[in-house]
Amino acid sequence: MNNTASGILTSAKRFITSPFRARVLEQQNTILRTNIKRAYAAAAMNRLTADWPTNNLSSDAEIRIDLKALRARSRNLSINTDHGRRFIWMVVSNVVGARGVGLSMRVKDANDSLDTVANKLIVDAFTRWAKRGTCDVTGELSWIDVQRLAMMNIPRDGEVIIRKVRGFDNPFAFALQLIEADHLDDTLNQSLPNGNEIRMGVERDPWGRPVAYHILTQHPGEYMYKANGNRYERIPATDINHAYVKERITQSRGVPWMHASMPRMKNVSGYEDAEIIGARASASKMGIVQSPKGNEFAGDDVDEKGNVIQEVEPGTVTQLPKGWEWKEFDPTHPAGNFGPFMKATLRSIASGLLVSYEGLTGDLEGVTYSSIRAGLLAERDIWRLFQKWFIDTVLTDIFESWLKMALFTQQIKLPFSKYEKFNSPIWRPRGWAWVDPLKDITALEKGIALGVDSRTNALLEEGESLEETFEELATEEKLADEKKISIKPGTTQSIDQALLTDEPSGKSGKGGTQ
């Protein structure tokens, strides 16, 4: 090998040697950072972005650091702030509703016709189990209460744990136990000999599938100390429904839904308190007593720090000693910009909570019909999204476990071997009234007539069931026939006539019995 070839080989070896190559690459990166403007302004590093994080942690690493503080502060806001409490109940009201998410069955025979016998047997059995005293281990909750409590804990705490207790002492040998998220210890993180890994209390296999939950037998914040309080119970994942909204792929725990708005909510609460105290001070017209010679002023009392206090009642005049002077202290609160500032801040809070400003605050000032309609429809899409998530994540999983036990215990007189056939629930979440009844009903009527919509879909939007509605209509018609009352279409005034006339039926040319 000649000297030239040897030199080239030596240079190549030097380059691929780690320290030398690292220095070269660092020099190249320095040149690029110095001479080339970043393509993405959001990635720029300057005095305006110095406090903007650029580190990338895993979802579990971020949650592990902040979970306890987030949950504690979220609970505090839901208890002690108006809008925090309002948001939690908005979620419960719009996802669960007053009647809970209803159940209908759509079991079909081989010829694709509805198996009405099986449908009725399953719904009747579920109704019996859903009563208070049966469906939960405490005997204090009904199925609707379980839904409500679960949906209250999820946005406030970020998650809820529902244990499915098989073999429980009730006719179905099945009950539910609601467990607060604190029982799932976020400090329990281990790599196990079998290749599994415990992440914040959740044991996962190498594929990331939950296989067990390590539950604290005592709440870590319990006021009564118990000797066995720091013990864990390992519960198989098949017995646990761990409900939380997943926003990152590897996320093992849920976070409170208010997290993006929590700093503003806390500041708004403090600002509002300060303005209220300032307004009270302004209304009290306080002042300072000043002596020209520095003589001691006795006053009426002293505060806890020894400062002299002069008490003045409304509508009274107090004469000061000769030579003493009254210096008025007149704070001007609330300031003129208080209202606009609060409204702008609350709009940002509502946006972070994924709800409308009007819905969160009840403030309809300056709202037009078209704007409130657009806002309501957009917000309802968000609620439907959470309804679907709640059904898929919680209700369907619990129903499937319940159905197996109900068939096994013969509380449903159907063969267990046909479980897959009978596992055909239709969940009916709450719906909402039409924003503009006349226009919405007319559009629905035309859609059904054109075949682009169905009565089933229309009733589901209202949270109702086609089968139950038809049964109610049949019952009404039967009762009307017995009472010899005609309620057939065309015998009463039309919807248009009823809405357009203010006169009683039968007293004008519009409407009345035909």
- Model confidence at 500: pLDDT above 50: no
Question: Is residue 406 included in any domain, yes or no?
Answer: yes
Read off the pLDDT of each residue in 247-276 and give the average, rounded to a whole number.
Answer: 92
CA dist 356 and 348 (Å) reads: 10
**What pLDDT, in 10s, does the model give residues 462-491?**
667 777 778 778 888 888 888 888 877 654
The pLDDT, as a whole number, for residue 386 is 96
The pLDDT, as a whole number, for residue 60 is 93
Question: Is residue 499 included in any domain, yes or no?
Answer: no
Give the residue, 191 or 2, on which the prediction is more confident. Answer: 191
**Ranges 238-242, 247-251, 499-503, 507-511: which has the least confidence:** 507-511
| 8-15 contacts, C-beta under 8 A, 24 or more apart | none
Question: Is residue 514 included in any domain, yes or no?
Answer: no
Q: Which amino acid is at 501?
A: T
**Ranges 52-66, 97-111, 347-361, 453-467: which has the least confidence:** 453-467
Q: 483: Cβ–Cβ under 8 A, 6 or more apart, which residues? A: none
Q: Do 292 and 419 fall within a single domain?
A: no
Domain boundary among 307, 340, 361: 361
Question: Is residue 252 included in any domain, yes or no?
Answer: yes
Q: How confident is the model at residue 506 (pLDDT cuts 50, 70, 90)?
A: very low
The pLDDT, as a whole number, for residue 473 is 81
Q: Do 193 and 256 fall within a single domain?
A: yes
Average pLDDT of the chain is 82
Q: Do 223 and 124 fall within a single domain?
A: yes
Alpha helices by DSSP H, 136-216: 143-157
Q: Do 100 and 142 fall within a single domain?
A: yes
Q: Which amino acid is at 99?
A: R
Q: Do 140 and 18 fall within a single domain?
A: no
Q: Which amino acid is at 467?
A: E
User: In this structure, what are the phi and psi dihedrals at residue 102, rounded to the nearest 5 degrees?
Assistant: -80, 160
Question: Is residue 504 included in any domain, yes or no?
Answer: no
CA dist 491 and 200 (Å) reads: 67
The pLDDT, as a whole number, for residue 151 is 96
Q: Do 144 and 184 fall within a single domain?
A: yes
- Contact between 162 and 176 under an 8 Å Cβ cutoff? The reply is yes
Strands (E), 147-208: 160-166, 174-179, 190-191, 197-199, 202-204
**What pLDDT, in 10s, does the model give residues 178-220?**
999 999 999 999 999 999 999 999 999 999 999 999 999 988 8
Q: 388: Cβ–Cβ under 8 A, 6 or more apart, which residues? A: none
DSSP SS3 for 430: coil
The pLDDT, as a whole number, for residue 303 is 65
The pLDDT, as a whole number, for residue 323 is 66
Nearest 5 degrees, angle CA 193-CA 196-CA 202? 130
Determine the angle formed by the axes of helices 82-95 and 143-157, rounding to 10 degrees: 140
Tell me the CA distances in angstroms from 34 to 28, 31, 40, 41, 186, one per residue in order: 10, 5, 15, 15, 43
Cis peptide before 334 (omega within 30 of 0): yes
User: Is the C-alpha dihedral spanning 346, 348, 352, 357 positive or negative?
Assistant: positive
The pLDDT, as a whole number, for residue 495 is 43
Nearest 5 degrees, angle CA 103-CA 107-CA 113? 130
Number of domains the chain is built from: 3
Question: Is residue 277 included in any domain, yes or no?
Answer: no
The predicted model scores a pTM of 0.76
Determine the angle formed by the axes of helices 18-35 and 3-16, rounding to 10 degrees: 70
Read off the pLDDT of each residue in 415-441 and give the average, rounded to a whole number.
Answer: 86
Helix (H) or strand (E) run with residue 242 in it = strand 240-243
Give the residue, 282 or 473, on which the prediction is more confident. Answer: 473
User: In this structure, what are the phi and psi dihedrals at residue 345, rounded to the nearest 5 degrees?
Assistant: -70, -40
Give the residue, 129 or 312, on which the prediction is more confident. Answer: 129
Q: 463: Cβ–Cβ under 8 A, 6 or more apart, which residues? A: 97, 99, 102, 428, 429, 430, 431
Structural domain harbouring 406? 60-260+371-430
The pLDDT, as a whole number, for residue 173 is 96
Q: What is the DSSP letter of 394?
A: I
**What pLDDT, in 10s, does the model give residues 3-28?**
555 554 555 555 555 566 667 677 76
Tell me the CA distances in angstroms from 323 to 167, 269, 329, 398, one per residue in order: 88, 44, 19, 82
Q: What is the DSSP letter of 108?
A: B
Q: Do 295 and 384 fall within a single domain?
A: no
Q: Do 130 and 201 fall within a single domain?
A: yes
Q: Do 121 and 230 fall within a single domain?
A: yes
- Contact between 23 and 17 under an 8 Å Cβ cutoff? The reply is no
**What pLDDT, in 10s, does the model give residues 75-108?**
999 999 999 999 999 999 999 999 999 999 999 9
Give the residue, 82 or 301, on which the prediction is more confident. Answer: 82
The pLDDT, as a whole number, for residue 455 is 81
- Model confidence at 396: pLDDT above 50: yes
Q: How confident is the model at residue 287 (pLDDT cuts 50, 70, 90)?
A: low
Domain boundary among 395, 414, 430: 430
Looking at the chain, the whole-number percentage of residues with pLDDT higher than 90 is 50
- Model confidence at 502: pLDDT above 50: no
The pLDDT, as a whole number, for residue 463 is 65
CA dist 109 and 456 (Å) reads: 20
Q: Do 354 and 375 fall within a single domain?
A: no
- Model confidence at 394: pLDDT above 70: yes
Q: Do 169 and 212 fall within a single domain?
A: yes
Q: How confident is the model at residue 264 (pLDDT cuts 50, 70, 90)?
A: very high
The pLDDT, as a whole number, for residue 504 is 44
Q: Do 325 and 205 fall within a single domain?
A: no
Question: Is residue 146 included in any domain, yes or no?
Answer: yes
Question: Is residue 51 included in any domain, yes or no?
Answer: no
